[in-house]
Structure 1
């Protein structure tokens, strides 16, 4: 995905406008193009409304209606078994019970009262089955054409500029989800607000492909082309199992599939088979790459029966996979298989994974770009923090260099072959955590996973100069000297600890911090993309700056201000760091 950070800065730009409107300084502003304002009754406005509408098809197995959803948790009784459904994962359990026997009479009842959510996010409490049936009847039959668009989505957050009647910006609002967007567009359609969408905006297709649009015309065209380009799965079962043999065969052969969950005879074997990769070939041959790099060959075939679509796998030396599996769910990029008796496989599509690993291919990948140490666990301790901003570079002739504080430390590496598979041996003075013999367990063009008895390491590729947004971030960071304008750790404001310090980011990857007494603190930095844009900073163990050692997510960036945030595992903000340009 590529998007222009300059345009993304509309939010801080307008916020700055509003803040300074009461100041004496006059700022020249080029207003947005009036033609980009949303028209209440336009096709684009309708497209946005339909794209953000609530999709009710995910829970059709319990309510048999694609225009409404049942609010979870809800209690259902399936063939006499009471189940509390508190997440969509429980739909798998219901499907398994319903399909366990071919000759039984299936029955599912909900325990009332329940709350249902309509496509416009209206919530209604229902007290009995009769009230639910009235609403179901209004939804129409299975797979009937409806108003919601499910084949494309907005990537949030997005923002809108609000105008007065003279087309002056009076507010900027940020939208975080479909619900908020649908309600906001309803106000636009009712002519309650006059607004335009702040571009660029990233749209996500059903298969995960991301498309960046830069204006209303591109957005309207993109939604129009995508809105009917997938199966909305509006049938009244769970998952997408209403496919033909031809469609299933074609889908299996698109790309390799990687195992993410595996259960056999009620035994969870995920740890043993996770990241095994399967490549389904046209001639009925399936090639499997084990996590250690071993290649196994078997056969595959499909057929469609009254039980649904079946995938038969046969391996001479891998009994756990050898079974005729029911394909009980196909999501975009995910296939779920099961068979009665506690057998289950979840596989995810990965077009980049390498099935046939060779020494030459490993060397070629390593030498293409820099590599970040994204994870390093040694003897149970997470040590990746020590490698923030210090990428590795692998060269020909077995030379490897690590960039520390802007200086290259040289060592050696070797690709070898053991009985267990291919190994990467690194030798770097002063880096004992890396000086291990690593077994290569997973390889794709941008990712390498390594492990040995008690240790795991993940390397992620970082190619310099190819990402427009990272290039822009680098240009901004290198163009100025910075100070800490704000540092909040939880509810505690610690900004005063950094008064008088200046931060200089050097092109070599070195950070130079000058303290009020002309002392110097050094460190390393690297801006990169990883499902978002990040600034990694590693400072030597000197306070107060060592506390800022972290992979910070970049939330806003302008020529004179950088806002960074640290999130916990629940997506909550733990720390905020703001750097501002020093006036020299």
Structure 2
């Protein structure tokens, strides 16, 4: 028995010595004095690892206004009056598209609160007002995330506690785990990474990292904002691969049909061609870099290809579609050009063109505005609306002028009219007009619009030629004669086949007499002519005939579009109903 007991005690002593030896080896696995192998809570590498694993908040700054938080989707916003439901960060492009509709307007974004934000440590908070959100933005420390480097998990860390001299192994499987692990690291803990590890860079490539220095160098020098060059390279590859077709071209009107049947190719040597099988147009292209990359196109001076000779801003570019826009340096109007892989066989959208012609000819008045079932038409009494071909608009009353913008868009088979008027806040009625309205009816006398409100009801908006809503029906020729004979007039607008030739009449004051004669005087000469107002069918007809040198507007087929005590607009339509000429007199 004594022998067995001795053997038993000896075995215990040996095991104890062996265990002490293993513990020592474990504690020596991390050399806390070796800065090349270890990471401490306040070290540069620890901070870089935190920034790489934290929740990135910079991709949605257009919504929350700071890079320290991330919006939790879905979230509803109102961009320039248009309600948009964002299901993911990719939908932010919808906001930008709305902001791109008008070149010179003031873009506004309202958030429908409450929303949930995810902080950089992945905790979530509810925000109930813009004031709360602004406070969070003010508190953002600007410690931006390194969002263009992704770790390949899992990663093993050895953790050595200098106080109790214990070593443990922690296996990390996600950014959340890594951030919380590093954030909660104690000052008396030293960690070491079990190299090699792998990271994925912005271009999708995978890189092996073998030690602390390599990892610190990579994270400290990576530029998460340099993806523009890669994207432009991808765009050039898509542009120069295969064939493209113009599926949309808008220059004041829809002119897509001008390029029907033409196949476009762009070569790597910056040459380009457009051919329809019998005619080939040579051109060039060039991609300019900068804060706003642009595609410079040149296809010569012949119509209609000279309309493409611009520096086009890239709105969207994929392997299947290229959407471009150009802001005119002259009148500030916006042209749009879209290339796709399959041709558009529909030609011009005549419905859109007729709407634009009617909208931009003469003045309009709101005769109905119904919001959530409430009739609020009287908010716009006394305002005369004018929509200009460059996309700008005005609403003028006796004591106020409200400026704004408009655009026409197509969504599948629907035509939408988008407004963005300046306003002073929530109580301003012009804020209620800012939306994308579906066109229900559009004639030369009436434009009826509809929009589904947040409550599910249809808001209604109607423009007509007369404030009282009679649309100019039951014309009275004597009323117009009396108006023209009162005072003197000047030509405010003369469009001949769409070309502005108003300057021909600059300086001339017109006097219409009861004998149906008219004189125009510019201070140095008097020009004589005749004028006749009659009823043809159900419309007022105007015959106008002046002597040289101001006989450019002479015609006997003018129809009276609208008239008031201070303004009269005449138009001539072609056989298809399109407006060819416009002549507007305004009272001095």
TM-score after normalising by structure 1: 0.39
TM-score after normalising by structure 2: 0.39
